[in-house]
Amino acid sequence: MSNGKLKVFSGSANPELAAAICEHLAIPQGDILLTTFSDGEVHCQILENVRGRDVFIVQPTCHPVNTTLMELLIMIDAFKRASAKRVTTVMPYFGYARQDRKDRPRVPISSKMVSNLLEATGADRILTMDLHAPQIQGFFDIPVDHLFASPVLVRHIQELNIPSMVIVSPDSGGVERARAIAKRLDSSLAIIDKRRSSPNVADIMHVIGEVRGRRAIIVDDMIDTAGTLTKVAKALVEEGADSVMAAAAHPVLSGNAIERIENSKIEKVIVSNSIPLNEAARKCEKIEQLSVAELLGDAIKSIHEETSVSSLFI
């Protein structure tokens, strides 16, 4: 490191990821005490001096979203009041990212509200990964470094040596992501024409592209209830795909997601550890989790040393 002022602290959302990041950076993890009062209020106390330090808080705002978000805000406030030189929030998963626009009358733009909260609380910089809507970066008036899990996912897929592969975007919004991965894998591309009738409910229309006799890999930013994912897999099999896999950055896996995956035609689901797997997901043999600790650690190192982070934006 260029100086001894870098400190990485973890919230309660994903302490394993924070520990892996610190191991990659060869630094001790910051000491902080997080507690909850009997009425649910979050409290934290920083247990070491951070005056003048370059502080990074690792806290994906995953389930329970409101608790992890509030915990993050309270931690930011504590570090600012403890005179940290700079506070960067490392949010591998940005909760509320799906509420990024007014798609119906009289609804909020919640991701904008969250960005306002982070700035108002005192965050100096945001480090995030695979935003559901990349334009969310524009909601901030502070620097946002937007990484992608694709280098980790692509490297793993390459090691599998899958023949006759086709990369599938589950909807039109994910075409850019799927095309970039298909290019790196020297693979063909297919797109699902999907119509969403209500939140978490999607109706598959038809497959655009050739999938017959090929091994399909569905790529997306997240897997939530797995309703869309399993319907896409069913549509691909019906169109003659030999096999179906899936790859996504964020394993939200809420509701009956694991049951749906278990009962689907999907052979394997590859995800990152931006979000820790729940108990059911850890027991699911179809799910394989890869670490993005080195990717995030390299970004933290570059931000701290004021060197370019652009080489990681792929």
Active site residues: 194
Q: What is the spatial distance between Cα 308 and Cα 289, in angstroms, rounded to a whole number?
A: 28
Partnered with residue 192 across adjacent β-strands are: 207
Crossing angle of helices 150-160 and 175-184, in 10° steps, is 50
Residue 279 Ramachandran class (φ > 0 left, ψ -120 to 50 alpha, else beta): alpha
Neighbours of 162 (CB within 10 A): 17
b or e along 195-231 (b: 16 or more beta carbons within 10 Å of the residue's beta carbon)? eeeeeeebebeebebebeebbbbbbbbbbbbbbbbbb
Task: Note the helical H segments in 39-162.
Answer: 65-81, 110-121, 150-160
Token representation of residue 9: 């602290």
Q: What is the spatial distance between Cα 248 and Cα 270, in angstroms, rounded to a whole number?
A: 6
Q: What is the spatial distance between Cα 247 and Cα 154, in angstroms, rounded to a whole number?
A: 9
Q: Which residues contact 149 (CB under 8 A, 6 or more apart)?
A: 129, 130, 249, 272, 274, 290, 292, 295
Gyration radius (Cα) of the chain, Å: 20
* Residues composing the chain: 314
Q: Which residues contact 285 (CB under 8 A, 6 or more apart)?
A: none
